[in-house]
Amino acid sequence: MNSAAQNIFILNKGRQERASACTGCTKQSSCPVADLESASPPVQRVIQAGKTAYEAGDRFGGIYIVRSGFLKSYAIDTDGVVQVTGFHLPGEFFGMDGIETGQYGDHVEALDTSSVCRIPLELFNGTSRTAKEGAGTEQAQPLMLTLVKLMSRTISGDRNMFFTLGKMSARRRFGAFLKDLSERMAKSGYSGETFTLCMSRTDIANYLCVALETVSRLFTQLHAEGAISIDRRQLRLRDTAALLRDDPPKRDRLRVTG
């Protein structure tokens, strides 16, 4: 509902003429565009929980990187049906689906106060090169190619969702989701074992395409089996292998011999 223009902008540009938003960013070491000289520097921006980074139909203004916080993206079809299409953790990218049409295809909303970096597409257009990717052994490559690789990974990831959404039971979908989230939390610098779910049960259910009640039942069930601990939104993974199983473990110990 709110236009992205209403959000708070923090333009580091204001202070020093050529300073980029990257000054002091803790993610510089893994960022492909950090400290790059350009007429179109990245723009840092803080988004309060519940506010959107952009909305579907907004004019494409660049690729986004999450510096801190937690966001969800979702689309609304012609009938008004909502589909959560992803969650975004620090270090991850979003907004790539807007390049071709010139406008973003989904809405992205902060679930927690978040800091993001918007990287204008022009920044990839130049002849600048980076050697950060892949930690050294590869040769320097133009930034546009970095973007292409990034999008290639996104496509691969989306294809994996075919398996998850189509072939798996609700339980395995849910378990795979928790495991994926855990790994990405770890990659973002958090604990992969114990973390807080920033999204509601409704968001999880929508994302996994199951009923809200099913998600609730699955939390309860996995907790009862000892695979996780869950209290409100505080989650702890205890047995990640059990997450990917379909059947609850047989309780052989309860059977008397014979």
Partner DNA sequence: CGAACGATTGACCGGCATCAAACTCGGTGG
Partner DNA sequence: CCACCGAGTTTGATGCCGGTCAATCGTTCG
Does 49 bind DNA (CB under 7 A)? Our answer is no
Does 9 bind a copy of itself (CB under 8 A)? Our answer is no
The DSSP bridge partners found for residue 72 are: 87, 109
Does 220 bind DNA (CB under 7 A)? Our answer is yes
**Helix, strand, coil fractions of the chain, as percent rounded to 5:** 35, 25, 40
* Binds 144: which of a copy of itself, DNA, none (CB < 5-8 Å by kind): a copy of itself
- Within 195-214, the residues that bind DNA by CB under 7 A are 200-202, 209-214
- Cβ-based neighbour number of residue 104 at 10 Å: 25
Cα separation of the two ends of the chain? 65
Positive or negative, the CA dihedral 48, 49, 53, 54 is: negative
* Binds 120: which of a copy of itself, DNA, none (CB < 5-8 Å by kind): none
Which has the closest alpha carbon to 67: 28, 32, 97? 28
Helix ranges, the chain (H): 122-125, 143-162, 170-187, 201-208, 212-225, 240-243
| 27 or 223: CB nearest DNA | 223
* Binds 202: which of DNA, a copy of itself, none (CB < 5-8 Å by kind): DNA
> From the CA atom positions of the chain, what is the Rg in Å?
21
- Cβ-based neighbour number of residue 11 at 10 Å: 11
State how far the Cα of 85 lies from the Cα of 74, in Å rounded to an integer. 5
| 46 or 244: CB nearest a copy of itself | 244
- Within 64-103, the residues that bind DNA by CB under 7 A are none
Q: Shortest distance, CB of residue 15 to DNA, whole angstroms? A: 35
Q: Shortest distance, CB of residue 124 to a copy of itself, whole angstroms? A: 8
Q: Residue 55 — φ and ψ, nearest 5°? A: -125, 160
Per-residue interface string for the shown chain with DNA, residues 157-176, x marking contact by CB under 7 A = ------------xxx-----
- Within 129-158, the residues that bind a copy of itself by CB under 8 A are 142, 144-145, 147-156, 158
Does 80 bind a copy of itself (CB under 8 A)? Our answer is no
State how far the Cα of 33 lies from the Cα of 45, in Å rounded to an integer. 16
Interface with a copy of itself by CB under 8 A: which range of 25-33, 101-109, 194-202, 247-255?
Answer: 101-109
The DSSP bridge partners found for residue 118 are: 43, 64
DSSP state, residue 256: P
* Binds 46: which of DNA, a copy of itself, none (CB < 5-8 Å by kind): none
Q: Are 175 and 164 in contact (CB under 8 A)?
A: no
Q: Shortest distance, CB of residue 134 to a copy of itself, whole angstroms? A: 10
Q: How far is CA 106 from the centre of its chain?
A: 14
Interface with DNA by CB under 7 A: which range of 28-36, 134-142, 145-153, 229-237?
Answer: 229-237
Binding site for a copy of itself (CB under 8 A): 75, 77, 81, 83, 85, 96-101, 105-106, 124-125, 142, 144-145, 147-156, 158-159, 161-163, 165-167, 208-209
